Amino acid sequence: MLLHLRLITWSLICLLILLSGAGRPVVAEEKQTLNVLFIGNSYTARHNLAQVVKQMAEAGNPGLTFKPTTVIYGGRRLRDHWNLGSQNFVKLHSLTKAEEEQTIADLEKAAEDKENRHARAALKRHQSLLKELDQPHPKWDVVILQSYRDDVSGDPSLYAQYAPKFAALAKEQGARVILYETTPATQNKNPLRTAPETEPVMKKAKAIAALAKQLDASAAPMSLVGLYCQTERPDLTLRFLNDAHLNQTMAYLTACAIYAALFDKSPEGLPVVSITDIRFWNNKDRDKDRDGNPITKTFSDKDRAELQQIAWKGYQKFKQLRDGKAAD
């Protein structure tokens, strides 16, 4: 009788072990994947921004696989991207061979202009895409649309004219849209000794918020985030001295703001501690950035915490503006 009970007990233990092992692949299969498309220029390329966002996204969401794809042309805006056929990447899951062949034909004509290097680059990109078109392509979960000096003037601005075109294609497949608003005109290269000017920043922020409301989109509102950083940490700079691009500090703020827009939650507490640029001192010394400082900036615990708080504060202010809950 005792032997019989022992056999039953061991059988139950073995069964539990097998069931436990069998359950593990199911858990793995249930892990979420986020397919995210970034469309922009060097303000997306610098510091490998998409990869920094990936680090933050996966650190803040255990079990998440963040898959970023970038379509980048230096100095180009959304209108240029449209002319270069970047909309085909937004609708990649349903793109037809005929559509891609027509885009290639248009780019071949544009590339005849020897000064149009972006058309030549886009032509190569689309020729490669055509070869891969028969492969399955997942729908995007999120499409991030970067602005660049096209969101300042005009009624509507160029950004406000072309963001809806890309957003419509994104929403057709159920993707969310994030407006990544850059702010090259307000990034400071030296520590501030006087309070930053708020009026032009708020005017632009309200325009971005109105566009986001129109598109049912979120945003990484970098003019607001930059303003809060300049107000609370005037000792910090947001661009290089020898290069007009965002520096490592602004890149960190940007990644935090995109994280907030992606998940509608604070980046506070994220363990990502450093940013590494992709451009070097005199284009030679890979250990130094364009100002001759270490190309990798590691933030102190204090600075990291405060930058995360500032990014979250800017994002919350954007939401208030978008949803009509903020006082002027």
Q: Residue 327: what pLDDT?
A: 58
Q: CB–CB of 213/205 below 8 Å?
A: no
Nearest to 86 by CA among 106, 72, 97, 101: 72
Residue boundaries of the structural domains of the chain:
32-95+137-322
Q: At 195, which amino acid appears?
A: A
pLDDT on residue 21: 39
- pLDDT value for 26: 29
- CATH T-level topology, domain 32-95+137-322: Rossmann fold (3.40.50)
Which residues, other chains included, contact 165 with Cβ-Cβ below 8 Å and sequence gap of 6+? 78, 82, 87
Residues (pLDDT < 70) of the chain are 1-31, 326-328
State pTM to two decimals.
Answer: 0.89
What sign results for the dihedral spanned by CA atoms 234, 240, 243, 246?
negative
Show the tokens assigned to 50.
Answer: 């998409």
pLDDT tens track for 297-309: 999 999 999 999 9
Tell me how crowded residue 135 is: count the other CB atoms within 10 A of its CB. 6
Cα–Cα distance measured from residue 223 to residue 161, given in angstroms and rounded to the nearest whole number: 20
For residue 108, with 0-12 CB atoms within 10 Å meaning exposed, 13-18 middle and 19 or more buried, which class applies? middle
Instruction: Give me the count of residues in the chain.
Output: 328
**Residues 6+ positions from 71 with CB-CB distance below 8 Å:** 37, 38, 39, 40, 81, 86, 89, 125
What is residue 127's DSSP assignment? Answer: H
